[in-house]
C-alpha cells in the first residue's frame, strides 16, 4: 500500500489535489498518536483548527499541528468559514452533539465509532445529515484492513458454516468516561461496534436478531457474549471484553475453507504472494499503532471530499451497528432474543 494521499488501490481514488482544510474535535490519545501523525503526512490535508475542553490535551495536539488555531468552544471552531471538514474523535458520549453541530455547519464529517450512545442520538445524526450534501463517513477503519478485504473476497459465493468473533484486551487503566455506559463506555460500544459492523460487511448480510449476556467485571458492561442471527440464517458468536486477554479475531468456516482475521497476529498474514506480504509488513511497521487501516480509512474520506462522492462507509452503517447494540442491550435486560426491524 502506498501513502494515504497517493494510494491508487482504493476504489475511485482521484488524482485531484485540492487542499482540505481540516478541523479536529477531540484531542485524546487516538488523535495524538494516530490521526495527527497520519494527517501530517497527507499533502492534500492542512489541519487548521483543534478543539478540546481539556487544555492539556489541546496543547499536546497543538505541538503536532503547530499551524492550527486552538479552540475551547466548538462553536468558535465551526464558525470558521475556511474549514472544509471536521474529524470528530471526542468521547463517545459527545459524538451526537458534536456530529450534529458539524453537519449543521455544513462541513464534511468523519465520525469515530461508535456513532452515538443511543438509538435516539443516532437518529438525530441521520436527520441532520439529510439536510447536508457534504460527505459524512463513519470511522469503521477496520473495513479497510487487507485481511478483511481478503476475507470478503474469499467468501464470495461460499456457504457460511460457522462464524466466531472475539475482540478483547487485558485489564488496563481506562479514561473515566469509558468506565460508565452513560458516557459511552462498555465493551459493546467500544469493541462490539467494530465487529458487528465488520461481520455485516464481510458476510454482506444485515443482523436480524441478537441474544446477549452483559456483565460488569471491573467497569460497567465491560464483558459481553452474543449469539447473532443474520438475515440469511447465518449464525455467529461474539465475545467482547475490556478485561480479558489480548485478542482481535474473526474466524469463518465456509464450504470447508477456514478464514481467520487476526489483527494482533501479523505473522498470520498470508505469505503468498510474497510481494503483498512484504508490502503489508512494511506499511504496518510504518503505521501508527502498527495498524494500516487508519490511514486507508482517512484517505477514502478525503477522496470523497475531493471528488464530492459518497464515502464508502456512511452514517447508515453506523446506525446499523447501533441497532445491533441496542438489540443486544435489550436482550441482556429481558433474557430473550431480540429481533431487529430494519
Same domain (yes/no): 229, 80: no
For residue 10, the model assigns a pLDDT of 42
For residue 16, the model assigns a pLDDT of 52
Same domain (yes/no): 58, 131: yes
Domain limit, last residue, from 105, 126, 141: 141
For residue 342, the model assigns a pLDDT of 72
Same domain (yes/no): 50, 179: no
C-alpha cell at 207: 443482523
Same domain (yes/no): 135, 152: no
For residue 5, the model assigns a pLDDT of 40
Domain range enclosing 30: 20-141
For residue 6, the model assigns a pLDDT of 37
For residue 13, the model assigns a pLDDT of 44
Domain limit, last residue, from 111, 141, 171: 141
Q: Rounded to two decimals, what is the model's pTM?
A: 0.94
How many structural domains does the chain have? 2
Please check whether residue 120 lies inside any domain of the structure: yes
Which parts of the chain sit beneath pLDDT 50? 1-14
Same domain (yes/no): 292, 191: yes
For residue 7, the model assigns a pLDDT of 39
Amino acid at each position: 500500500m502506498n501513502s494515504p494521499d497517493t494510494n491508487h488501490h482504493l476504489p475511485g481514488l482521484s488524482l485531484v489535489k485540492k487542499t482540505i482544510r481540516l478541523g479536529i474535535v477531540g484531542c485524546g490519545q487516538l488523535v495524538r498518536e494516530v490521526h495527527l501523525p497520519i494527517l501530517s503526512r497527507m499533502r492534500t490535508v492542512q489541519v487548521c483548527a483543534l478543539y478540546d475542553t481539556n487544555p492539556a490535551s489541546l496543547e499536546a495536539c497543538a505541538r503536532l499541528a503547530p499551524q492550527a488555531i486552538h479552540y475551547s468552544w466548538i462553536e468558535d471552531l465551526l464558525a470558521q468559514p475556511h474549514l472544509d471538514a471536521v474529524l470528530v474523535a471526542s468521547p463517545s458520549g459527545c459524538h451526537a452533539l458534536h456530529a450534529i453541530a458539524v453537519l449543521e455547519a455544513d462541513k464534511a464529517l468523519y465520525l469515530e465509532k461508535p456513532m452515538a450512545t443511543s438509538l435516539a442520538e443516532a437518529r438525530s445524526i441521520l436527520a441532520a445529515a439529510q439536510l447536508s450534501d457534504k460527505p459524512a463517513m463513519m470511522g469503521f477503519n477496520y473495513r479497510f484492513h487487507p485481511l478483511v478485504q481478503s476475507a470478503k473476497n474469499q467468501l464470495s459465493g461460499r456457504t457460511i458454516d460457522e462464524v466466531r468473533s472475539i475482540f478483547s484486551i487485558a485489564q488496563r487503566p481506562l479514561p473515566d468516561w469509558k468506565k460508565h455506559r452513560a458516557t459511552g463506555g462498555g465493551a459493546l460500544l467500544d469493541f462490539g461496534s467494530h465487529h458487528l459492523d465488520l461481520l455485516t460487511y464481510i458476510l454482506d448480510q444485515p443482523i436480524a436478531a441478537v441474544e446477549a449476556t452483559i456483565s460488569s467485571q471491573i467497569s460497567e458492561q465491560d464483558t459481553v457474549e452474543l449469539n447473532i442471527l443474520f438475515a440469511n440464517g447465518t449464525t455467529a458468536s461474539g465475545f467482547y471484553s475490556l478485561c480479558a486477554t489480548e485478542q482481535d479475531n474473526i474466524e469463518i468456516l465456509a464450504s470447508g475453507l477456514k478464514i481467520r482475521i487476526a489483527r494482533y497476529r501479523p505473522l498470520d498474514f498470508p505469505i503468498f504472494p510474497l510481494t503483498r506480504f512484504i508490502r503489508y509488513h512494511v506499511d504496518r511497521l510504518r503505521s501508527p499503532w502498527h495498524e494500516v487501516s487508519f490511514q486507508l480509512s482517512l484517505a477514502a474520506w478525503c477522496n470523497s471530499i475531493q471528488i464530492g462522492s459518497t464515502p464508502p462507509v456512511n452514517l447508515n452503517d453506523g446506525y446499523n451497528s447501533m441497532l445491533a447494540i441496542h438489540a443486544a442491550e435489550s436482550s441482556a435486560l429481558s433474557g430473550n432474543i431480540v429481533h431487529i426491524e430494519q
